[in-house]
Structure 1
């Protein structure tokens, strides 16, 4: 079918321009498909017909007034819509106190010195005890010659001493840089070199630290237990620290394989803490769970936000995180009121509560972050815990962590879960490649401005220049280009559409992976989903993966996707998994999915393998089949857990199913059925002796 615009004469505009005004559409099945597409279009609630009419009028006016002008340089937005996007969709303006986090913490110490500030296991410190230790660390660094913004690497497990070290570094005017003790020597050395760190605060027994420091004679290492035992003052150092001084650096993976260190300042750090307190409704005395690994930026607000409201930080031991029932025990016994989890772990928690229902009377609010939060998961959450708020949090390391919060006390009305509104003192724009604002509901790149935007990547001018710049709408403010795509929904909430680098080309067609994934997630019964490009370079194809019930077949998915996507965007292969594989930071592991697709292709026709030989092997194979939703006949003695779709989360379920005879850590080193069976027999025998 074709549509033309009346009221214009062809001679009024350039010939090429006129052809662009003609919209053509074709469907293979004629009227039925056209009606389906039209009904789907009617469901779109992002842009009103009046607004579209206004855009069309503006475009046609520009075309007829200057047909040969470069129209890409002229926007479609009215003054009113520009004001809405720039001002009304910005976060609320709140005045920040002219003090740093550690100074506000010191004020809390003076107000209630004997209140419990932090707990880990059976250890607990009061505000006074924590402050004394942090002061000793700060004075030690100061007397050793630490200068403002000197980078201090802290290499510890998630302990109370870690908390004291973080606060001590900030009190001394230094810049906190976390490193995990399990990191290999090369990784530690690379981060130290790129950050220019001359100081390392470490716990004893870090396995690769000596090797990492061997080639860096200018780096001074101090053991935390020695520092805490030094004869140092216990009063607050009161060293001057400016709002625009560096507070911390977190290293993230780079597309080139070289890590990049995002630098954030005290003002952005403090603003994010207050955004969490404000939007999560954190009251006086709140108990906050600290669960995230120390090298991920979300660990920081989990660690210290409670200290600004006279509350308590509960550092949850890693062993408890890996055992979901023990984690639930900790939430209950610790009186935890606020927690943050990745959606994949949220699903494990809900499965555990379905298996063994229990009340969590103190839990008040859970924040979900790190990956897309699915509407079906939100529905399940409120079915199980209707009185517990769920917050969809979105942000990036480069923007002082989260910039958007969608606070929910019920399932959202739309098809997807929005990213929410901008938090306090943060500006979020959706723009085109020239940083021009795009209309409401139109996809574009998500960029950020305001106090949240960090200083760039340390000692990395090229990548800083590529991602950071100046705000064209607020002269003098920094701008960060996220590489994420999204669009504004009515009311000023943001919808995530995928990554810029998720755009691929298959069989000559340029495809945005995020668009396919969004459609996949809208299919009833699909809980989670991801799409990757698989196959050899000369014959690439799209492979889709989803989680959910057995009722959703590959045929159902193809039919549903074909109704809303062009044929070339419907994945050729569709696989069901119990859970999507995750990276170390809890995000979907797309490389693992690509390998899984290749393995599925290789083994699709295989019929020769070694069957499980013992009762224990058969028990393990049966559990794998149940957990991974894999036909039992496909599981042999040499089958590997991850290649069948196993993840860290299904490994937790496997450990529980094996009555916790073996740990998740042990399962990681026994990838095959035969190896798991041998481990299980050995551990069972040890228990019996």
Structure 2
């Protein structure tokens, strides 16, 4: 190792102190541009608190000593050279840092000096950039760090302020623009000169004879003390691994000791409970019917059924399904709106031995056709109001043989009945059948339902969940929320979502009540509030956007009017909820606890949850998603499926009885996401006929010191918009199918906390540039509402990073991002137009709106429509329906409608054209813009 010193000293003695001429300055500039141009890696530890705009608070320090044995081994390897020892300590830190940054490209700050020795003088700190490749041995990494350090010191005299300007690096009064962490050795660096650097963490080592000590100085307003202590422990673990075996590959370094591994695998997953997972949902429901036959089981509008009545109706329909040949584990489609009959259909399918597949009637026709065809359902349950949509949807569905109308008597001469091989049944065909329980033929390991989720290839994936997984989730929630027969659940989620499953079924397994409401009731705050109060709801589950709307509404009510005496739990799901909203709710309703739940469809809905019963620190970054629910094991893993320590971000993975059966007829995707569990020695015990699999969620999270998990977002390009899981690749696939689109990329932009927007950046073919309205209409025919970009930005070319990939950070930022309109701005002309414009501006968050601007081209979506509807109705006391806002999407048109003015010719033409589009799909248009509000996938 003394050779390193000789090389550095020799070079420095030859070159230091010599005045750099212009050529030397130019060569230094070129060196640093090559080193730092392009996208710089994130090299900070994950922050525990929100970074303030300006520096606040003081630095704290945590000190630790390396053991005598370890210190002496390091000194021996460095042959007593301070600089060699520094390189060893620095290289080990470079092994640790990727565990926290999920990036092998590392930049840290290293102090420079005029000569090596005790009397050194610091002048500044320069960046050291290295690549920590997993296949490198520690020895090779050490040599790489040495070479990088020599090169960096050889170019240390460049003016970095000039470089920051040249590379247009963002600057902040509270963060260093290039590196966040500085590593130094006090024997050769003056630590006191590092105080003004504005970096977040400084790690300083000191050799005291034959011992090495360390201090970690950190900003107390950014980091929790415990996470800094954990970092020092893991650093020491790595040192112990490599110091006596320098040929160890960095990928083989053992980060965790046995007791730390035990804590992650066993202590944090100590949640074994006994639930009736050997039964099916239909068996448990029938048992509850025998116990509470006269209790009200379900309510929808003015209709209600007792447990006995619900069971009898489900038995009659199940008899028909059995007669039509439904087999054990077979999929049966449900294509209808949510009501009591929807719940009857679910139970009947279970009793017949099948599994249900909800197919959303508001989806675009091509998506519905794909689901019908891909699921290979032989039977489809529906309502008469949807019969007019079915002829075009069932074409090509060769497996489909029968359609059952649940709510009416069907004329056998209708067009649908004439389709070759298709048999039509109606309620007369099952209402006269026996209402006794049918023989149980399904088992707990059989499929209970299949839900279609967004797919990156443009085709949705069918995720299959078993009875035992769904039952485990329901009973785990019974325990967590201490639910009893008083349990009254608001069934508000679209039927195509996993949250709807337990909203429909959970109360029925404990003697409680399910109250089904339409999506308009849930999406409009005053209606939601009245439903919670009048129906005496005890548990409600909302996505953050709807939670925020309810919170805003109730906060404006007088104290005596805002009471919700029956509500016990406010569950917020689907997307991260802000700390400020949680605290505001608890300020208004201190007795109604918030449940922040998290879980994927593929693992039977919620797998963790965190109960908030008191306000959180205002500077806390996020609300934790909590600890694993019963009989589930949670892991935070790196790309090599290795356990990550407390505080380090990795993929959230789950094993246990809740993990589903994979994706229907998609072996490739199943094998990628459902993998054998390598931790079987400590995992939950499963039935003999169940494989022990881990589901890789694709979500990023980290363990907190108390055993809770913090959610950090998606790893890939899959995101959640208003509670819906969206593959950005699916949108890009369809947008790329437009004949005049050359290339495109879709990203998520956030103009304010909690307001996520899909933005499509489009490069058109030179021969024909499509209009934005054309692109929007094109996607509207292929994608559901929640997957439509709020804005389209036309670019000449997509910005590329040096790697050749799209440089997403170089795309226009939200501050400069507003939808491009194709209309001339026209000022409001009267009081009504001014009032509506003001509503639009506040809800869409745009500076100005013209009366000819199209609401949807301004970035409006279905939630915005509901907000506008509520505000306009309140302001003008108008007899307005939701569909009127789609008929009249400009301020000019809606104000004329509200004023009952005579339409001029242009207005009539526009209205007629929109009405033609409305009539083509009127049955689904209303819900298309309403139904996507309440979802947790």
Cα deviation, 1:137-187, whole Å, max 9, x if unaligned, reads: 111111111111111001111110100100111111101100122333322
Query: Quick one: which of 71, 77, 80 aligns to 2:259?
Result: 80
For the structure 1 residues 64 and 390, does the alpha-carbon distance in structure 2 shift closer, same or farther, using more than 3 Å as the test? same
Distance 1:653 1:684 in 2: 27
For the structure 1 residues 597 and 415, does the alpha-carbon distance in structure 2 shift closer, same or farther, using more than 3 Å as the test? closer
Query: Quick one: which of 406, 409, 419 aligns to 2:610?
Result: 406
Give the Å deviation of 1:380.
1.1
Give the Å deviation of 1:653.
2.9
Distance 1:676 1:100 in 2: 52
Give the Å deviation of 1:43.
3.9
Which residue of 2 is the match for residue 681 of structure 1? 899
Query: Quick one: which of 373, 379, 398 aligns to 2:583?
Result: 379
Which residue of 2 is the match for residue 337 of structure 1? 538
Query: Quick one: which of 446, 450, 458 aligns to 1:245?
Result: 446
Give the Å deviation of 1:95.
1.6
Which residue of 2 is the match for residue 7 of structure 1? 75
Residue pair 1:140, 1:227 contacting (<8 A) in 2 also: no
Residue pair 2:650, 2:701 contacting (<8 A) in 1 also: yes
Which residue of 2 is the match for residue 224 of structure 1? 406
For structure 1, which segment, 418-427 or 178-187, has the greater mean C-alpha deviation from structure 2 after superposition? 178-187
For the structure 1 residues 261 and 607, does the alpha-carbon distance in structure 2 shift closer, same or farther, using more than 3 Å as the test? closer
Give the Å deviation of 1:394.
0.2
Which residue of 1 is the match for residue 915 of structure 2? none
Which residue of 1 is the match for residue 637 of structure 2? 431
Which residue of 1 is the match for residue 867 of structure 2? 653
For structure 1, which segment, 278-287 or 114-123, has the greater mean C-alpha deviation from structure 2 after superposition? 278-287
For the structure 1 residues 160 and 531, does the alpha-carbon distance in structure 2 shift closer, same or farther, using more than 3 Å as the test? closer
Which residue of 2 is the match for residue 215 of structure 1? 396
For the structure 1 residues 128 and 593, does the alpha-carbon distance in structure 2 shift closer, same or farther, using more than 3 Å as the test? same
| SS of equivalent to 2:385 | coil
Residue pair 1:175, 1:247 contacting (<8 A) in 2 also: yes
Residue pair 2:675, 2:695 contacting (<8 A) in 1 also: yes
For structure 1, which segment, 614-623 or 161-170, has the greater mean C-alpha deviation from structure 2 after superposition? 614-623
Give the Å deviation of 1:537.
7.8
Which residue of 2 is the match for residue 365 of structure 1? 569
Give the Å deviation of 1:503.
9.9
Distance 2:221 2:838 in 1: 47
Which residue of 2 is the match for residue 609 of structure 1? 825
Cα deviation, 1:252-284, whole Å, max 9, x if unaligned, reads: 111111000000111101011112222222122
1:671 has 2:889 as partner: yes
Q: What is the TM-score of this pair, normalised by structure 2?
A: 0.61
Counterparts of 1:499-538 in structure 2 under 5 Å? 499-502=714-717, 527-528=753-754, 530=756
For the structure 1 residues 647 and 214, does the alpha-carbon distance in structure 2 shift closer, same or farther, using more than 3 Å as the test? closer
| SS of equivalent to 2:553 | helix
Query: Quick one: which of 315, 318, 328 aligns to 1:148?
Result: 328
Give the Å deviation of 1:451.
0.5
Give the Å deviation of 1:321.
2.0
Distance 1:598 1:638 in 2: 24
Distance 1:18 1:42 in 2: 36
For structure 1, which segment, 198-207 or 491-500, has the greater mean C-alpha deviation from structure 2 after superposition? 198-207
For the structure 1 residues 16 and 288, does the alpha-carbon distance in structure 2 shift closer, same or farther, using more than 3 Å as the test? closer
Give the Å deviation of 1:432.
0.5
For structure 1, which segment, 200-209 or 60-69, has the greater mean C-alpha deviation from structure 2 after superposition? 60-69
1:618 has 2:834 as partner: yes
Distance 2:753 2:586 in 1: 15
Larger-Rg structure: 2
Query: Quick one: which of 117, 135, 141 aligns to 1:16?
Result: 141
Query: Quick one: which of 347, 352, 357 aligns to 1:172?
Result: 352
For structure 1, which segment, 290-299 or 642-651, has the greater mean C-alpha deviation from structure 2 after superposition? 642-651
Residue pair 1:483, 1:501 contacting (<8 A) in 2 also: yes
For the structure 1 residues 534 and 652, does the alpha-carbon distance in structure 2 shift closer, same or farther, using more than 3 Å as the test? closer
Query: Quick one: which of 385, 395, 404 aligns to 2:599?
Result: 395
Distance 1:371 1:365 in 2: 18
Which residue of 2 is the match for residue 267 of structure 1? 468
Which residue of 1 is the match for residue 17 of structure 2? none
For the structure 1 residues 90 and 675, does the alpha-carbon distance in structure 2 shift closer, same or farther, using more than 3 Å as the test? farther
For the structure 1 residues 489 and 140, does the alpha-carbon distance in structure 2 shift closer, same or farther, using more than 3 Å as the test? same
1:497 has 2:712 as partner: yes
1:312 has 2:505 as partner: no
Cα deviation, 1:556-587, whole Å, max 9, x if unaligned, reads: xxxxxxxxxxxxxxxxxxxxxxxxxxx99997
Residue pair 2:791, 2:857 contacting (<8 A) in 1 also: no
Distance 1:199 1:469 in 2: 33
Which residue of 2 is the match for residue 574 of structure 1? none
Give the Å deviation of 1:241.
1.9
For structure 1, which segment, 191-200 or 266-275, has the greater mean C-alpha deviation from structure 2 after superposition? 191-200
Distance 1:415 1:444 in 2: 17
Distance 1:67 1:210 in 2: 71
Which residue of 2 is the match for residue 132 of structure 1? 312
Give the Å deviation of 1:59.
1.4
Give the Å deviation of 1:288.
0.7
Residue pair 1:370, 1:586 contacting (<8 A) in 2 also: no
1:457 has 2:683 as partner: no
1:638 has 2:842 as partner: no
Query: Quick one: which of 790, 793, 801 aligns to 1:592?
Result: 790
| SS of equivalent to 1:398 | helix
Residue pair 2:785, 2:861 contacting (<8 A) in 1 also: no
Query: Quick one: which of 198, 220, 223 aligns to 1:34?
Result: 198
Residue pair 1:137, 1:228 contacting (<8 A) in 2 also: no
Cα deviation, 1:459-509, whole Å, max 9, x if unaligned, reads: 1111111111111111741111111111000121110111111499xxxxx
For the structure 1 residues 453 and 91, does the alpha-carbon distance in structure 2 shift closer, same or farther, using more than 3 Å as the test? farther
Distance 1:381 1:402 in 2: 22
Distance 1:332 1:28 in 2: 52
| SS of equivalent to 2:484 | coil
Residue pair 1:348, 1:649 contacting (<8 A) in 2 also: no
Distance 2:819 2:649 in 1: 39
Query: Quick one: which of 232, 243, 252 aligns to 1:64?
Result: 243
The root-mean-square deviation of aligned C-alpha atoms, in Å, is 3.4
| SS of equivalent to 1:222 | strand
Query: Quick one: which of 415, 420, 428 aligns to 2:626?
Result: 420
| SS of equivalent to 1:187 | helix
Give the Å deviation of 1:307.
1.0
Give the Å deviation of 1:675.
2.5
Distance 1:647 1:439 in 2: 41
Residue pair 1:427, 1:448 contacting (<8 A) in 2 also: yes
Distance 1:243 1:10 in 2: 62
| SS of equivalent to 2:606 | strand
Q: What is the TM-score of this pair, normalised by structure 1?
A: 0.82
Distance 2:789 2:603 in 1: 26
Give the Å deviation of 1:593.
5.7
Cα deviation, 1:275-323, whole Å, max 9, x if unaligned, reads: 2222222122311100001111101101111111211100012332233
Which residue of 2 is the match for residue 92 of structure 1? 271
Cα deviation, 1:507-555, whole Å, max 9, x if unaligned, reads: xxxxxx99x98xx9xxxxx6435588886789xxxxxxxxxxxxxxxxx
Give 5+ residue unaligned stretches, structure 1: 505-512, 521-525, 539-582
| SS of equivalent to 1:32 | coil
| SS of equivalent to 1:353 | helix
Distance 1:393 1:424 in 2: 14
